[in-house]
Amino acid sequence: MDQTKDIARDIANIYCPLSPMGVNALSKILVPMKFQKGELVFPEGKVCDAMYYVQKGMVRQFYYKNKKDVTEHFSYEGRIVFCIESYLKQEPSKLFVETLEKSVLYAMPYDAMHQLMTHDQEINLLFRKILEHALISSQEHADSQRFENATERYDRLLRTKPEIILRAPMVHVASFLQMTPETLSRVRAHHAKQ
pLDDT-based confidence at 18, cuts 50/70/90?
very high
Within-domain flag for 162: no
Residue 134 lies inside a defined structural domain of this protein? yes
Q: What is the pLDDT of residue 122?
A: 95
Angle at 83 between CA 79 and CA 84, to 5 degrees: 95
Is pLDDT above 50 for 1?
A: no
In-domain check, residue 67: yes
How far apart CA 150 and CA 179 sit, in angstroms, is 7
What CATH number has the domain bearing residue 46? 2.60.120.10
Judge whether 188 lies within some domain. no
Asked if residue 118 is part of any domain, the answer here is: yes
Residue 85 maps to a domain: yes
Domains in the chain, number: 1
pLDDT of residue 194: 74
Report pLDDT for 157.
94
Position 110 in a domain: yes
Find the mean pLDDT for residues 153-178: 95
Q: Exposed, middle or buried: residue 30 (CB in 10 Å: 0-12, 13-18, 19+)? A: buried
Q: Is residue 96 part of a domain?
A: yes
pLDDT in tens, 108-154: 999 999 999 999 999 999 999 999 999 999 999 999 989 999 999 99
3-state secondary structure of 72: strand
CB 107 within 8 A of CB 97: no
**Which residue range is the domain that position 76 belongs to?**
3-147
